[in-house]
Amino acid sequence: MYLPRHFEEQRPEALHDLIARHPLGMLVTHGSEGLDANHVPFELDADAGLGAHGVLRAHVARNNPLWQSVANGDEVLVVFRAHDAYISPNWYPSKHEAHKQVPTWNYRVVHAHGPITVRDDERYVRGLVARLTRQHEAGQPSPWKMGDAPQDYIDAMLKSIVGIEITVARLVGKFKLSQNREARDRLSAAQALIGQGDSELGEAMRAAGPPA
């Protein structure tokens, strides 16, 4: 990934927060069938201690060839992406003075690199599904839990999935938030985004620092 210094995000807490808020990662593998990409919700255990940046855990359908096309220890990449948006030069005050601005696209992404391990283990996937369910059901008025379904049904569903685990050796963050623009241009574009409903990205631009 091309990474100019002014867009590089190194703070672990910022990288972990993006993954927690946008857990659907694009898992890129290069297995026996060549390059492949799967979109999978992940759990990040930043304190696992196995890798420099913790462990990512997920599960895939047993019918998905992913888990059989990779070998334990193969290097993989997981891409996590927050909100993104087109940035119009008309939103920059400086454009109306010198007319020397062009459109761009702002976004925030985190790339997680590390070796993958397949966990075809019913106990492992049961615990993972339980944790993911608790996490994502927490905001519901009446959270669903695994015990709400018949035991034999849950057992059958768990047999239809396979766990995967990625030891995160490297996390790379790129937060492209107009940090290379004048503060007035960045803040004006942020306000325009918020005004059109892109509040998450707009607020991130507001909080971004001045040009490096």
Q: How confident is the model at residue 51 (pLDDT cuts 50, 70, 90)?
A: confident
3-state DSSP of 60-85: EECCCCHHHHCCCCCEEEEEEECCCE
The 10s digit of each residue's pLDDT in 15-50 is 999 999 999 999 999 988 899 999 999 999 998 877
Contact between residue 101 and residue 87 where contact means Cβ atoms under 8 Å apart: no
pTM: 0.92
Domains and CATH numbers, the chain: 5-87+102-182 (2.30.110.10)
Predicted confidence (pLDDT) at residue 95 exceeds the cutoff of 80: no
Predicted confidence (pLDDT) at residue 210 exceeds the cutoff of 70: no
pLDDT of residue 212: 43
